Structure 1
Amino acid sequence: MASTRVIGTFVVWDYVVFAGMLLISAVIGIYYAFAGRGQKTSKDFLMGGRRMTAVPVAMSLTASFMSAVTVLGTPSEVYRFGAIFSIFAITYFFVVVLSAEVFLPVFYKLEITSTYEYLGLRFNKYVRLCGTILFIVQTILYTGIVIYAPALALNQVTGFDLWGAVVATGVVCTFYCTMGGLKAVIWTDVFQVGIMVAGFASVIIQASLTQGGINTILNDAYNGGRLNFWNFDPNPLQRHTFWTIVIGGTFTWTSVYGVNQSQVQRYISCKSRFQAKMSLYINLLALWLILACTVLCGLSLYSRYHDCDPWTAKKVSAPDQLMPYLVLDILQDYPGLPGLFVACAYSGTLSTVSSSINALAAVTVEDLVKPCFPSLSERSLFWISQGMSVLFGALCIGMAALASLMGALLQAALSIFGMVGGPLLGLFALGILVPFANSIGALVGLLAGFAISLWVGIGAQLYPPLPERTMPLSLETYGCNSTYNGTDWMTTTEMPSSTSAFQVYNIERTPLMDNWYSLSYLYFSTVGTLLTIFVGMLISLPTGGRKQNIDRRFLLTKEDFLSNFDIFKKKKQVLDYKPHPTEDGGTDNPGFNHVELNSTDQSGKTNGTRL
């Protein structure tokens, strides 16, 4: 009977496993700070010398995606709303293709460090400044959520002080990010991916053994209505359907993979454009693996507690604590494995927060410091980059306090990306895909898209959609309590559609609340992107957009696509092709041509379009 279950606690071996993960992460940062003394410039520190290869960058992209929001939030999402979340597998395919074939070619050939440099080149410094400020605000808010999530798990499963864990997360991330730069971030991510996969595997394997096999888990999920893969309702007000996930999810995640500095900074640090594209496609396979793991964990969670929901029974205080609760339930007889899972959640946080800190430092140095102080030496910029890492680490810790008020973590995180990332995606798409777009149209379009996204996003927090829009599935507690007189205490409850602390209660709902504010949170990004592009085009036409002469390097061209096949042509020329002396594996990355070809004609920089 569910009521007899006794949940375990942390033992010494759990702390050893957990501390070991933190120690190795810190050591990697120290190694790249002292053993890798080649980092003399801000570009070395922020871009890893632009000599990275596809596999470690792909693992790093994966680790960033696998934040504690994914580790804790996605299984809880599947437990509450069903396995329709697995449709994101289709979304990820579209996201990677768009990022690799539309945005990457333009960013790579322009030799940029910050993606917002593109906005200055394509439009003007004011558009660039707006994009930079929006990115900084978005990233600090999101990172606050990512720091708070594992602290919540630690508090639930170990009794660690909640805010002590928050500060510890931020301090460790800031330490190795400041010490070792992007190289430390990427190689720490590679290590942490292994920890995360091991954590997921331990839960899935033990849940299968405990529940009597995968078939039992799937049967329980089917009987509980959790295998709800195909919902083709076109209504944009429904929270998760095939269309909201594929269309809205594609816009939401393309704003992350396609134009967000945290991700773009990694793949443009590769030594050739071919390696950069390969990193994205290898990452796609890893994303599918992670999605399968998190969905299986969610179904295992339901199979274990289908007759006694721990949240309804007040055994946990928030849905994001369900996974740690399951871990201490089924892994309590295996010392070290609960620690491995918490290390899994914590690894996701370390990787995401460190990449955010590194990206914030890069954007601040390239978009704010350099334009204001053009005479600063590279050595000075290097020290400023390190100082910025410390500053943003402290700011992200502070923002974790706000995250504690934002309710369900997964939806809160994606909502922030949608509200801010959508208009930014629209701005970059306007510049890359619309030749007649000008700076006036871009600025007005960005402001319009951001205003509308903010309106619907904040409205949805204040007046959450009703259950018929969010479609929560029933949760039962009849297995939690029983008496000897033959009477079962049985309750069936529905999950609340929102746990936002900002929700306004006891107010008569209007059509605006039931329609506009009930828009699926995945469409926040879609609305912002499309409105930015539409308004930008509309304003550009009458303000001289068709009369401007645009450098073709700022646009996506036919040559960018055809150059995908250059690697096959190169094989015939390999004996004659001697670009320049290289070291450490060499680089074809145009961002370092000015260092390695300082005595070569500037036309050599056209190598940026070469694979």
Structure 2
Amino acid sequence: MNTIDIVVFFVYIGGIALFGGSFFKKNRTSSSYTVGNKDIPSWVVTMSIFATFVSSISYLALPGNAFQSNWSALVFSLSLPIATLIAVKYFVPLYRKINSPSAYTFMEQRFGPWARIYVSICYLLTQLMRIGTILYLLALTLNAIAGWDIATIIVFTGLIVAVYSMLGGITAVLWTDAIQGIILIVGAIVCIGYMLFSMPEGPSQIFTIAADHDKFSLGSFNLDLSKPTFWVVLVYGVFINLQNFGIDQNYVQRYMVLKSDKEAQKSALIGGLIYLPISALFLFIGTALYGYYNSAETLPLALQDISKGDRVFPYFIVNALPSGVTGLMIASIFAAGMSTISTSFNSSATVFLTDYYNKYFTKDASDKKRMQVLYISSIIISILGIGIAIAMINVKSALDAWWKLSSIFSGGMLGLFLLGIFSKTKNTKGAITGMIAGILVILWLTFSETIFGKDSVGASFHTYLTIVFGTIAIFLVGFLVSIIMKPKNQSV
């Protein structure tokens, strides 16, 4: 990075921090901190939902995936219309009717306090890991590009995001998310334009090279459940995206900031659907990079190991783009990560206040005290997230194990919510039995190969199907047990 790139990058970081902090005057109550003042434009919420869905992982991994193989990752995005339509029809009106800042109030209404505590703890733990992972990946990327110290980058980024998200509350998070979403789209378009018009034989050469190497393939269409075929990825995408748009506090909180149900449903739908063409844009970057570098007589030494596809986009940013544009692209990568982190900070603090402090500590606390709780919990969450990111530098294997465990518990969350919405019986024993059954299924599928070997039944299913079978088990077992054990004349 030269001086111009460094200036562009820091101007962006400083500008975002100042802009987010400028909403401090609108952030004087706990209500404004968590759900705003009902004055945020719907387009801002829409872009914020999109920006929350896109992380720096997607921004780097999708081009790397397309460079290394093909467009099979787009199948995940093709599931979004199904998942978002279900969320818009059933989940958004439900949360708007309950009118709580927390998505998990519904769990207590349906199955009791245990369900609310279970899902909220799962959410908080998952968010901490998410913050840590994204901070670490951002630092790793900038370290590779600029050579700066990883731990320093982690602390700097975490503190910057924590400060502006605390000062401005949900309003700052939404507005900065919207801006960062626009920046990352502009950055992607700039990159594609540069590659298209840098080809020796013109823009069409990229398409010719890609077609010759089957780079636009969506993967296999057979019904083999042990491989990530088109159908396996599609079904997996429906369940994961339904979990995102249906029960994730990061999204549910956004549904609550708008004035009407119609606006909330529209923002949820469009915010989800925007990712479909943008993910195609990211994948095209990878395909264009493949054509760009294969049009040369020799592939750069750093890219000859095609198995390390995630390196190709950062390599291109540093070595091919003009000065200033490189700084803009690095800012785009940070935009994707910072938007996700700021959301996690605010939403996690909201869950702690709503699901724990207001219920189990002081139910009639003053609003000043609630604001203090939001600030303190935000600080604690940011410190823990930064600590986890730093731990990832040397202890990645232990954290990989935690990711497996977190997927086990988060898989149970979706099943419980579906049971709560579509089951007409209010039976705590049925819900608990279903949850246990689902977790056992997820555990079996996750560790079957390790314990029983590659020829075991559980090992014959691809890991993408773990959440699918686990969620179905929770719903079906919970539903059946609830009917069998249903007390007379009991219903929702």
2:19 matched residue in structure 1: 28
Q: Gaps spanning 5+ residues in structure 2: where?
A: none
Runs of 4+ aligned structure 1 residues displaced above 6 Å come to 411-417
2:274 matched residue in structure 1: 286
Deviates more, 1:225-234 or 1:431-440: 225-234
Mapped partners of 1:414, 1:208: distance in 2: 38
1:363 matched residue in structure 2: 351
Shift of 1:30: 1.7
On the 8 A contact 1:152/1:321 being kept in 2, the answer is no
1:272 matched residue in structure 2: 260
From 463, 478, 487, give the equivalent of 1:521: 463
On the 8 A contact 1:415/1:524 being kept in 2, the answer is no
Shift of 1:422: 2.7
After TM superposition, the structure 1 = structure 2 runs for residues 130-169 of structure 1, keeping only pairs within 5 Å, are 130-169=118-157
Determine whether 1:510 maps to 2:489.
no
Mapped partners of 1:362, 1:395: distance in 2: 16
CA 1:312 to 1:48, structure 2 compared with 1: closer, same or farther past 3 Å? same
Shift of 1:443: 2.2
Shift of 1:243: 0.7
2:316 matched residue in structure 1: 326
Mapped partners of 1:452, 1:403: distance in 2: 29
Determine whether 1:449 maps to 2:438.
yes
Deviates more, 1:534-543 or 1:275-284: 534-543
The residue type paired with residue 99 of structure 1 is A
CA 1:444 to 1:305, structure 2 compared with 1: closer, same or farther past 3 Å? farther
Mapped partners of 1:518, 1:175: distance in 2: 47
Structure 1 counterpart SS, 2:458: coil
Structure 1 counterpart SS, 2:433: helix
Determine whether 1:425 maps to 2:367.
no
Deviations 1:45-102 (Å, cap 9, x if unpaired)?
1111344332100100111112101101111122223112222342111121111111
Shift of 1:418: 5.0
Shift of 1:29: 2.3
The residue type paired with residue 155 of structure 1 is N
On the 8 A contact 2:424/2:491 being kept in 1, the answer is no
Deviates more, 1:438-447 or 1:338-347: 438-447
Determine whether 1:222 maps to 2:211.
yes
Mapped partners of 2:83, 2:414: distance in 1: 12
TM-score, L = length of structure 2: 0.92
Structure 2 counterpart SS, 1:49: coil
After TM superposition, the structure 1 = structure 2 runs for residues 32-181 of structure 1, keeping only pairs within 5 Å, are 32-33=23-24, 35-36=25-26, 39-181=27-169
On the 8 A contact 1:53/1:275 being kept in 2, the answer is no
CA 1:195 to 1:142, structure 2 compared with 1: closer, same or farther past 3 Å? same
Shift of 1:529: 1.2
Shift of 1:341: 1.0
The residue type paired with residue 384 of structure 1 is V
1:533 matched residue in structure 2: 475
Mapped partners of 1:417, 1:232: distance in 2: 30
Aligned positions, number: 485
Determine whether 1:344 maps to 2:332.
yes
On the 8 A contact 1:436/1:545 being kept in 2, the answer is no
On the 8 A contact 1:147/1:400 being kept in 2, the answer is yes
The residue type paired with residue 469 of structure 2 is V
Mapped partners of 2:347, 2:28: distance in 1: 18
From 354, 362, 368, give the equivalent of 1:379: 368
Deviations 1:250-294 (Å, cap 9, x if unpaired)?
101110111100111112211111110111222144212311211
After TM superposition, the structure 1 = structure 2 runs for residues 191-230 of structure 1, keeping only pairs within 5 Å, are 191-211=179-199, 212-229=201-218
Q: Gaps spanning 5+ residues in structure 1: where?
A: 1-9, 464-507, 551-611
Higher normalized helix content (fraction of residues): 2
Deviations 1:219-277 (Å, cap 9, x if unpaired)?
222222322125211112112x2211221111011101111001111122111111101
The residue type paired with residue 315 of structure 2 is Y
Determine whether 1:15 maps to 2:31.
no
Mapped partners of 2:460, 2:11: distance in 1: 45
Mapped partners of 2:323, 2:489: distance in 1: 70
Deviations 1:561-611 (Å, cap 9, x if unpaired)?
xxxxxxxxxxxxxxxxxxxxxxxxxxxxxxxxxxxxxxxxxxxxxxxxxxx
TM-score, L = length of structure 1: 0.74
1:395 matched residue in structure 2: 384
On the 8 A contact 1:17/1:340 being kept in 2, the answer is yes
1:490 matched residue in structure 2: none
Shift of 1:309: 7.3
1:233 matched residue in structure 2: 222
Deviates more, 1:298-307 or 1:121-130: 298-307
Determine whether 1:242 maps to 2:211.
no
Q: Which has the larger radius of gyration?
A: 1
Mapped partners of 1:135, 1:259: distance in 2: 10
CA 1:151 to 1:198, structure 2 compared with 1: closer, same or farther past 3 Å? same
CA 1:12 to 1:416, structure 2 compared with 1: closer, same or farther past 3 Å? farther
Mapped partners of 2:116, 2:273: distance in 1: 33
The residue type paired with residue 357 of structure 2 is V
1:484 matched residue in structure 2: none
Shift of 1:458: 5.6
Mapped partners of 2:85, 2:300: distance in 1: 40
The residue type paired with residue 63 of structure 1 is A
Shift of 1:357: 1.0
The residue type paired with residue 354 of structure 2 is E
Q: Percent identity of the aligned residues? A: 26
1:308 matched residue in structure 2: 299
On the 8 A contact 2:71/2:217 being kept in 1, the answer is yes
On the 8 A contact 2:210/2:216 being kept in 1, the answer is yes
Structure 2 counterpart SS, 1:84: coil
Mapped partners of 1:390, 1:285: distance in 2: 33
Shift of 1:412: 10
The residue type paired with residue 511 of structure 1 is D
On the 8 A contact 1:311/1:319 being kept in 2, the answer is no
The residue type paired with residue 541 of structure 1 is I
Mapped partners of 1:234, 1:128: distance in 2: 38
Shift of 1:516: 2.6
CA 1:178 to 1:151, structure 2 compared with 1: closer, same or farther past 3 Å? same
On the 8 A contact 1:170/1:393 being kept in 2, the answer is yes
Deviations 1:93-120 (Å, cap 9, x if unpaired)?
1121111111111111111111111101
Structure 2 counterpart SS, 1:210: coil
On the 8 A contact 1:142/1:413 being kept in 2, the answer is no
On the 8 A contact 1:148/1:166 being kept in 2, the answer is yes
Mapped partners of 2:47, 2:108: distance in 1: 31
CA 1:124 to 1:138, structure 2 compared with 1: closer, same or farther past 3 Å? same
Shift of 1:187: 0.5
RMSD: 2.6
CA 1:192 to 1:22, structure 2 compared with 1: closer, same or farther past 3 Å? same
